[in-house]
Every structure is written in C-alpha cells, then in structure tokens.
A and B are shown apart, each in its own frame.
Chain A
C-alpha cells in the first residue's frame, strides 16, 4: 500500500518541488513563482466560480462525449462488419475525419449559433472519429477462428453483435474512447475560446487577454486536474468493462 502510494506520488512530488524551488525567485513576468500561482488558484476558483464556469463546461463536455461515443460505436460496428458499406463510406469518412474540427467552428456557428448546441456539436464532430476508427479496426480484426465458429453455430444479428463483435472489438473501442476523451477536452476549450460568456476556456482566455498571468496559470492547472480526474473516472469504468480482458491476460501471465 505504502509502496503503491510512493509510486503514484513520487515523481509528481519531485517535479512539484523542483518547480516550486526553481521558480521561487522568478522575476519573469510570464513565469511567476509557483507560490503566487497557488495563491491565485485559491482566490480564483471559488465555489461560485466553479458553479458558474466549470459546471457548464462539464455539462457540454459530457453531452458531446456521450453522443460521440454512441454514434461512433454504432456507426463503427455497422461499417466494420459490412465490407461493402465500409468500401462506400470510407472515402467520405476519411474526408470528414481529416478536416480539423477547429476550422469547423465558424461553419457550425453559421448553423447552430453560438449557444450550447454549437459547443456540443463541435465536441461531437471532433471526438466521434477516434471512436469510429477504432471500432471499425476492432471489428475488422475479429479473430478469424472465432468468427467462423460463430458462423458455424448460426450466431447472427443481435447475438453475433453482443457475443462476438462487441467483445472482441472492446479493447480497441476503449482505446478509442480514451483518445476521444482528451480530444473532447481540447474542443471544449476551443469552442469556448471562439464565442462564449462562461466556461473554463473562456475564463482562461480572459485572464490571458488581461495579462493576469498567475490566474491564467491557475486555469491551466485546473484544466490539468480536470483532465486527470476525468481520466481516473475513465480508468475505473475501463477496469469494470474490460475486467474479463485484463483477467484473461493476467491468467495467461500467471500460468
């Protein structure tokens, strides 16, 4: 237990102390002492501020991410399992996947205005692709023997999906969902940088424009903490969903 704690906290503590010590006497306007940033952090991120700026950001992030996951997995399974559909859809998907989502913000603004809908659509438009791509890859790489066995047993339709395609693709799907999570956070920030009256990205840009450098740094740190927290949540969910996969690996390792 102590060893585990040491492993988790060791390097971060070393890095933190290094930063604190190295910046203690910093005269650089853009890289203020960490002491000052921490003080700004406590002053800036009050409960009211969290409710007014962080909560709306998180709600948009959650809505966009869930929608992207649903669309990505559903479309990915359909496309991955059907060679003909994959051939027809691939060039179009490749094109849409290849368009950098931030350049779509002006376009999405034309259609959806500058409200919450725009931000959710921006998030969906960016993070549906890693999920979709990984699902297609995962379904495509289904073990040939398993697929033939399932066919020999007459496993079709929903049962084939439930017992063959989704389980065998799930490690890949989870990898895609993990990629999508970090992209979703990036797009949450970008969409709020373009047009917003609240949100984390908006607030950080305001700090930057008013040259409130310690506050800006505190915002970057809060974003990091937020990303870390979400990624921990994701890890818990992954451990639950992929318990069989990790268990299988561990069993093979032990034998």
Chain B
C-alpha cells in the first residue's frame, strides 16, 4: 500500500512554483502585448518593458529608497500598535461576555467610520508628518484585527471549553489553552488583512496629505503626467504588499503548522 494518489492529486512544490511563475509570465506578456498591438493605447498602459525600464531608473536614485523607507517605517509602527491593541482588546472583550455585550454597539459604530474621513483631523493634529499617516494606519488596521479576533473568539469549540471548565482551568488558563488556539487562525487572517490595509492607508495618507513616502512620489508623477513612472511606482507598492503578505503567510504557516487549513497542504 502506498499513500500516493490516496486523495486528490497533489502538485509537487517545484510544480507549484513553476505554475505560479507561468501565471506571472502570462500577465507580463499580456501587458506587453496589449499596448503593442494597439488594443489599449500606450498612453494609458505602457508596455511591460517600458515600465520595467522606468522602475530600474527609479531604483538607481537615492530619493526613491528614502521614500520606500519612509513608507515602510510608517507601516511597521502603525501595524505594531494596531495589532497589540487589537489582539489585547479582542481577547479581553471576547473572554468577558458582559464586556462583549456592552461594547458591541460602540465597536459597530466606530469601526465603519472610514479612516479617510479622519484625514482633515490628522492634518490639523500632525500636519503632513509621520503622525498623520500613523493615525490613519492605526485606526484602519486596529478594527481589522479586532473584528477577526472577535470572530475567532466566537468560534471556540463549546466542548473544548466545557472540558477545560470541568478540569478546573482558571480564566487565564482557558484563555491560554482554549480561546487563544481557536482564535489564532483568525488572528493571523486579521494581521494579514491589517498588514495590507496598513500599507493601503500609509500610501493613501502620503498620496492625499503629502506625508513623505511612496504615495507622495506617486502624486508627483501623476501631476507631472509621467504615466510610465506612475505605473512603475504602483508596481513597487504592489511588490511591497506582496513582500508583506509573504512574510505574514510564512509566519502563519510556521505558527499554525498544527491547524487543519495548513496541515491539509503539507506534502506527505
């Protein structure tokens, strides 16, 4: 008896990477061909080769790397504050049913207030500074984490919880050994979403307020009608996002190796 072919056919890791690369290559070729064949005007969408050339030009300048550094600094600080506050508040609210009932309406009211509506407030409090980016990033990312943690806490297996109770686990032990492992996959989803939302808000704040960073550079490229440079910078924001996402996913795989959604993936 062999295990091979017992379940759905699994693709080898090398094959997966190859498939992914072919998908990416397909996109690059498509973007190269669309403007070249005239289906899309090249003043709207420059071909891949020109975008990559503009990207190389940008990467040779020091100002570009300073902008990337500024964006990443705002992102990292904002995300760290939001995750700590979101997980702390989420576990606390989730573990105490009364607290959950009392805060539910307030959370539901504050959460949907779009962080971009706070832009004028951020400007008057901090000007076009790191602070206004941070305000928007923290506000937006905090709710992403909190909502996922609350979903995760609601997902606690009642049998596990009651087993823990009958073994006389204290409140702290129940949080540590029942609630936390159940909520963890949701926490990671929340952190991953928060990480990308934090980048979105960091770049948006820079774009709209003019705080130093990639967004401000994009705004300059846009107003000076440098379409190709604008595309190159947008690609950079996308690449940053991908890097952030890969890091989050790696952490998820590492810390959730025991969970169904990850375990089912592992090549046997």
Contact = CB atoms under 8 A, between A and B. Distances in A.
A140 interface: yes
Contacts of A175: 148, 151, 189
A115 B119 CA distance: 24
A224 B9 CA distance: 49
Contacts of A100: 199-200, 203-204, 237, 241
B234 to A, nearest CB: 5
A91 B234 contact: no
Contacts of A101: 200
Nearest to A4: B101
A231 interface: yes
B109 A83 contact: no
B196 interface: yes
Contact of B109 (A92, A99, A137, A224): A224
Interface of A: 7-12, 15, 30, 83-84, 87-92, 94-104, 106-107, 110-111, 129-130, 133-134, 137, 140-141, 143-144, 148, 171, 175, 178-179, 181-183, 185-186, 188-190, 193, 201, 204, 208, 216, 219-220, 223-224, 226-228, 230-232, 249, 252-253
Interface of B: 7-11, 15-17, 19-24, 26-27, 44-45, 101-106, 108-121, 124, 140, 143-144, 147-148, 151, 154-155, 157-159, 189, 193, 196-197, 199-200, 203-204, 207-208, 215, 218, 222, 227, 230-231, 233-234, 237-242, 244-246, 260-261, 264-265
17 contacts: A30-B124, A87-B20, A91-B21, A95-B241, A96-B238, A97-B245, A98-B196, A98-B240, A98-B244, A100-B203, A103-B215, A103-B237, A106-B222, A111-B44, A193-B116, A220-B118, A224-B110
